[in-house]
Amino acid sequence: MTTSSPKPRRARKVLRGFANALIIAGALLLLDAFLTLVWEEPVSSTYAHFQQNELSGELDRLEKIPLTPVERKAIVKLPDPKKKLAFAARSLSRHTDDGDAVGRLRIDRIGLNTVFLEGTDANDLRRGPGHYPSTVLPGQRGTVAIAGHRTTYGAPFRKVDKVRSGDDIVVTMPYGRFTYRVERTRIVQPTDVWVVDNRSFDRLVLTACHPLYSAAQRIVVFARLVKSDPRGSAR
């Protein structure tokens, strides 16, 4: 009478465990791919969610920081509300670095309400939409430009292609609330840097990769400033 050796039994058990692990890993990969297609990439989106909570806290603290005595004395002497807004915008620009929260972006059409930060490099955009440092902040004359992801890291601009002409985009800064009205959307090449050039009027430009799951082109939303309301230090 013969009996099977303990070693082959242990080997078969290890192989079965390894095969089950591969099946589970494959199922998780398929689930991740499915969620990315119908919604957004879940792992990086979880990271972005925590980053947004941190940025919200930073923005709350930023709104409570008063102007310096010199800045306060200077802004009081400005009679024009638009000049007060421009002064407050320049002040914020001087006191923020890449990666710092600077404002909140809201687009009701696509259900977007998110904090954006200064900077557009890879690390910045993992935390949320980023303001192009080469462009002005709301309240200053010129073009305000903000970039964001569409499929990863919370995908804040995933539905930006659903924005329509006439929609309002509201940007809330510590010193003011700015309403922009969408004029048009265009698909351009990544090399078309003219989209953030200044015009003879104040405007907002939103940029993101296009189409979904590709960086071959850029989708750009152009909106014109229609209203500005001072708040905080500019009020």
Torsion angles phi and psi, residue 110, rounded to 5: -115, 10
Residues with catalytic roles: 149, 209
Domains and CATH numbers, the chain: 41-230 (2.40.260.10)
pTM: 0.82
- Taking residues 11-21, report their average pLDDT: 63
The residue type at 204? L
pLDDT for position 43: 87
Q: Please write the tens of the pLDDT for every residue from 69-111.
A: 999 999 999 989 999 999 999 999 999 999 999 999 999 999 9
Q: What is the DSSP letter of 209?
A: E
The residue type at 124? D
Compute how many other C-beta atoms are within 10 angstroms of the C-beta atom of residue 116: 24
Q: Please write the tens of the pLDDT for every residue from 200-226.
A: 999 999 999 999 999 999 999 999 999
How many whole angstroms separate alpha carbon 205 and alpha carbon 157?
Answer: 13
Examine residue 156 and say whether the peptide bond preceding it is cis (omega within 30 degrees of 0): no
